[in-house]
Structure 1
């Protein structure tokens, strides 16, 4: 039954301790229930790239979607709605009530480690795509969590940093995507971040949580903390409704006492509980349980696999192309680069998902072209070796690709004995065990002859055995940062010459460590860069064309740490230069979610940016390269020409403070204003497989924001999707250019379509810092109709009186 509007009656049935008990989680990812009022426990799950379940790792098999920038690269609200519906089905299948996403922090600096998990550098694009995602999830009765509120745009010192943002920039840029998502989609929860904003911790920020979100925006949902982000009972008065995780935290009896002492009003507690009850009502955890009418497809169902492949390809972006793409299926291809076989399909950190499989680019191309594809290796791309690939190692018990993981008490009593497809596991958040985990044993079978690199990932005392090999060692902490054992564990490796099948065992004594990421490393011993480049050059000379796959890894694109450079790791640039010098044609595939430097861009024939394309990534890349699916994506971040060549760069606080000194001139806004050199590729850039002619632009200025219509003609021989972008350049030099609307259209070869862009009125205002309110933006300026600011097709001047004429 629905109890909407009757929450006060339920509140009256609870005393103060019972109310406060509900306001801290019951466990790492679940809430308390209360049978007396018909409240069932609710479960949460990380969700930006898939519903991982309540386990930090080793959870149920789940669909692994393309990452956020790859989805956003489609510039398609319809596709984000479909992604939300898919995630809702995954949540229903797992019994999850709230998916913790979307992440809508902005790409302020391309060095930020978690940029891969956020949509874009633009607040309008971010907000509108987030709203579509939220609608898709919540239409199935599953909640979302808009995160991380607010100005949580980098990882360095993220728990303690004070981000200083001027009032106008905070309102016009960083709060705007949250405002759009709340107004357009009403997410059922919002997550307050770790950082402080202008001196006040996000979870205690009365002016933002109570004043802006619950007050000005009229938000009726629940505001929870990021995990371990709540510092004190002051957050209860500052607008926070729920502390996560539990069962411990700073509230509990301390909050009961604070209410008794008058430091926190009981009315505030009632508001928090009322919001929690509303969430429970919405997700079917209050009153009679909700029945879901159909069983969603499994993660490896053919329907799901095709959907995920199509989503991934749609967001891939053609950066350059001299006509070599799409490829012909008759080509003999030299496939080069470690990311071709070890394709990075998801980022690192809390959003990792246990997928049913992960299809590499090599697998995808070989499935279509067979022996026309020859893999020629590549240079080392990682500083820390990745955990063993399923297939190179197998479970010694059941023979499946992956490893065997046994969790034991400190005395050696067995707690679990499981197969894992991934050769790593997070320890310490496991529920339902008979005792605390004190020891971990990882084992795998290798059918390999020759030198291999063996080792472990994780802090503590280890014993490693493989045949005659027996080694004991201790891996010590390096940084001392909170959470290092999970977010930045160190490896220990050695080279061993194997002569046939062997079982590798690695046993860890955790000691006093309660939470840890542990993994088994096993792979063929890497070649030197010189040897790898020589092999690649020989292969490229003997092929019709070379496809070189380069990219970043989860060492750079991860929660917990930021990058120091946009340069590709290792000798990948040298590899591309050497191959391009000898290959008849060279196509480069960039396997990264975020901008990288491409110093060789003018010396190759085509570049395709594929993001982190999810479980079907290899099939999607093959379809995009061969033209079976169009890579019609547009960039969601500007790609700088060099390190430091962006309007906002440093992510390193000074004395705990990070100044957003660029103000509203972030991303393309700063490049266009001359506050940084022109980027190599502008926000919004993407060629697809069409060629476009723009004509006959018309603008209707009668409403609160313009409606722009333009005729676009596809001059190519392929059906293609065009994304018409409209920007407004105010005459006031103190106001940056900004995206005000966009629209996509699929157009056949030689055909013309009228595309209408409904501009958003929220971009035609400014924050008046003297009056602390919104004011109308002067209409004088230019409308720019473009394929990104690097390819402006039409301009129209807007006079102060609102009249329009061609510039």
Structure 2
């Protein structure tokens, strides 16, 4: 296949039969596009890989028959993380990088790019052309089964990290598939339950991350989601896939369906889903019938064929067969990403880092220290090349003069939980510090399931509380898909949030515990105190196939700010072993006008004793906006490395959109506020410095006035009072003072303008004459 221009692609499509077009727009087996040998069109290979390349030799190398594809696909989706090597046959070892839930806490564009480049190298080694990731659905609720794959509750982090990962992959010749477009926020009846979201929330939150990633990363493909959006399946949603994605955002790549997500193949093609994956003989037959019967516009069919051919050409032009992949080097990178993403939530009295000489007796409790939970369950699960065991890495760090013991703790298999806790308490009696490795309750978790609790594994809360009550120095190490409840939080000395840290997590945890790595991760989602505090909890998970996103634009920290609820830990929170000061905030504009950007400058100084990294967060806070808006919203961030005593001055750019909100009544982004407060912060609840800038509001056409309009609307027109006063003086032969007195009475009414006026002047003023006055006022705005 040598065609590489639009004209060449068009000529090739013109040669295709209807059956060949139907083949090209459908998968071949589970993981390939269709090859058309008659025209020299090869197939390309794709596979899952949000945080690692999952290459199943039994599925990919066994041929392209779809006889057993559904069984194989369901086995893949339903697998558990610890079954990655056995559930679906032989899977090639690959690097299992930190999952999205931890990578999001890095806030590190460079690390995301390097991870993308490493994923691309492994794809090239395996012969994979397209990796199905990254996933950036908004982490609207911590209960979502696939929350572990996604980065954040905020579109700025989602978009910027995704764009970096995409560029890292595609700069190295492997395509990305940005997914799941859109509002794939729950696994409960995920193919039938409609995500019902108002347009403003869609534009400002749920679509904004995709828009940002597409603008910055230009992914070769976008994957449409399983769920309906506002009653229409995402794969068949023309507003989503054509109006927004292609016409408004200018996306010119390929749209591929999630696996078996399409219900009506002709409708999905018309709406904008180009490629149906995987192969389905019934859906392919539907498509062929529609093509032959004229049920789909020919240009729609041919445009989708050209996009498939363009993807195939691009993938084949960039493939590098036999490219070696340095898995050892990638393991080092996996360790680094995890170490720079782990969040130190709490550190009372400098409990961390550990000093082996000052704390020579360490007790490590919990199965997670020897059998770590490194990733979530489902189609993204990766067979890790190697796995760092936390207990082993801790022992290496502690040295020969430190006594370290490990104790398992599993009350699920113990008849007497109190006895198990007492056994640990007895062992801890002569220890200097107790490290408790714990994780969330696993009864429902991973793809295909939403969690139904934020609690830890049975007995772990009681164990941690008992250790703290006994006066032990307790450090809790959490592995989790998203937040958990921590009833013991203020009784323990330190807490590390490791989420799902990938295969290098054990070494990364040891580095942070002993201070070889100064923690620099920060939360990319808020952590509620209890499950009932979750935004939208009262409408979760929906009823009668509809899930109403009742919190609107107030997602995550926006909700906690609005409701003045103190979370357990706020968005953007993360401690360090050093301290940072924020100095000399300045803004290069005094007023923000429509279409204008501005640069915010601030100096960050390391005032502590060791080198470290600070994540500087920039929030914009509107003052008296035209519509109700979140109190503050993240708009930019920067991760800064500083040696002890060092200071750096950084610039953060704010674009016109960063000051706007989406006005549904105008179907557009608008600038409408009295002023803005620009805040630089260490978290959404730790604002370090702020400055005010005035706002030059956009001038909008006034609403059309009629006799039925409310008096408040009538008098909002700058010329209305004088025009009406003059009319009443001339019509009724009143003094100016008498006319003003009547209008002041009318002004107080909540009824229609003419209905109110007639109470004071009777029928002496025909409605038609008032309508004429209002029409003249309307014309002054045209």
Shorter-chain TM-score: what band?
Answer: 0.7 to 0.9
Q: Distance in 2 between matches of 1:793 and 1:290?
A: 48
Relative to structure 1, the CA distance from residue 144 to residue 554 in structure 2 (aligned partners, 3 Å threshold; closer, same or farther) is farther
Deviations 1:104-139, CA, capped at 9 Å, x for gaps: 100111111111100100011111111011000111
Q: Distance in 2 between matches of 1:546 and 1:4?
A: 64
Structure 1 position 24 matched with structure 2 position 26 = yes
Contact 1:744 1:755 (C-alpha < 8 Å) held by counterparts: no
The corresponding residue for 1:504 is none
Q: Distance in 1 between matches of 2:166 and 2:648?
A: 30
Contact 2:27 2:34 (C-alpha < 8 Å) held by counterparts: yes
Deviation (angstroms), 1:49: 1.8
Q: Distance in 2 between matches of 1:713 and 1:29?
A: 51
Relative to structure 1, the CA distance from residue 568 to residue 760 in structure 2 (aligned partners, 3 Å threshold; closer, same or farther) is farther
The corresponding residue for 1:3 is 4
Q: Distance in 2 between matches of 1:706 and 1:321?
A: 37
Relative to structure 1, the CA distance from residue 682 to residue 274 in structure 2 (aligned partners, 3 Å threshold; closer, same or farther) is same
The corresponding residue for 1:464 is none
Contact 1:44 1:53 (C-alpha < 8 Å) held by counterparts: no
| TM-score (structure 1 length as normaliser) | 0.78
The corresponding residue for 1:379 is 410
Contact 1:43 1:97 (C-alpha < 8 Å) held by counterparts: yes
Deviation (angstroms), 1:757: 1.8
Equivalence map 1:657-668=2 (5 Å): 657-668=546-557
Equivalence map 1:260-279=2 (5 Å): 260-279=292-311
The corresponding residue for 1:724 is 616
In structure 2, runs of 5+ residues without a counterpart are 60-75, 77-87, 698-782
Deviation (angstroms), 1:248: 2.7
Greater percentage in helix:
2
The corresponding residue for 2:743 is none
The corresponding residue for 1:470 is none
Q: Distance in 2 between matches of 1:63 and 1:781?
A: 45
Contact 1:319 1:607 (C-alpha < 8 Å) held by counterparts: yes
Q: Distance in 2 between matches of 1:238 and 1:700?
A: 45
The corresponding residue for 2:269 is 236
The corresponding residue for 2:146 is 114
Contact 1:640 1:679 (C-alpha < 8 Å) held by counterparts: yes
Contact 2:131 2:177 (C-alpha < 8 Å) held by counterparts: yes
Q: Distance in 2 between matches of 1:685 and 1:719?
A: 19
The corresponding residue for 1:123 is 155
Q: Distance in 2 between matches of 1:98 and 1:244?
A: 13
| TM-score (structure 2 length as normaliser) | 0.81
Equivalence map 1:587-598=2 (5 Å): 587-598=475-486
Deviation (angstroms), 1:2: 6.2
Relative to structure 1, the CA distance from residue 307 to residue 554 in structure 2 (aligned partners, 3 Å threshold; closer, same or farther) is farther
User: Among 134, 142, 150, which residue is 1:102 paired with?
Assistant: 134
Q: Distance in 2 between matches of 1:777 and 1:721?
A: 36
User: Among 493, 496, 510, which residue is 1:605 paired with?
Assistant: 493
Deviations 1:207-229, CA, capped at 9 Å, x for gaps: 11111111111111111111111
In structure 1, runs of 5+ residues without a counterpart are 382-524, 803-807
User: Among 372, 376, 382, which residue is 1:343 paired with?
Assistant: 372
Relative to structure 1, the CA distance from residue 777 to residue 742 in structure 2 (aligned partners, 3 Å threshold; closer, same or farther) is farther
User: Among 765, 779, 793, which residue is 2:688 paired with?
Assistant: 793
**Whose Rg is larger?**
2
User: Among 569, 573, 579, which residue is 2:461 paired with?
Assistant: 573
The corresponding residue for 2:44 is 42
The corresponding residue for 1:139 is 171
Equivalence map 1:45-124=2 (5 Å): 45-54=47-56, 55=59, 56=76, 57=88, 58-124=90-156
The corresponding residue for 1:389 is none
Deviations 1:135-190, CA, capped at 9 Å, x for gaps: 00111110111111101111111010111111111111111011111111110111
Greater percentage in strand:
1
User: Among 502, 520, 531, which residue is 2:419 paired with?
Assistant: 531
The corresponding residue for 2:742 is none
Q: Distance in 2 between matches of 1:60 and 1:293?
A: 15
Q: Distance in 2 between matches of 1:277 and 1:582?
A: 67
SS in 1 for 2:458: coil
CA RMSD of aligned residues (A): 1.9
User: Among 388, 391, 403, which residue is 1:359 paired with?
Assistant: 388
Equivalence map 1:169-248=2 (5 Å): 169-232=201-264, 233-248=266-281
Q: Which moved more, 1:33-42 or 1:208-217?
A: 33-42
Query: How many equivalent pairs are there?
Result: 651
Q: Distance in 1 between matches of 2:134 and 2:99?
A: 11
Contact 1:379 1:533 (C-alpha < 8 Å) held by counterparts: no
Q: Distance in 2 between matches of 1:798 and 1:71?
A: 34
Q: Distance in 2 between matches of 1:377 and 1:173?
A: 43
Deviations 1:531-561, CA, capped at 9 Å, x for gaps: 3211211122111111111112665441111
Q: Distance in 2 between matches of 1:8 and 1:104?
A: 34
Contact 2:441 2:455 (C-alpha < 8 Å) held by counterparts: no
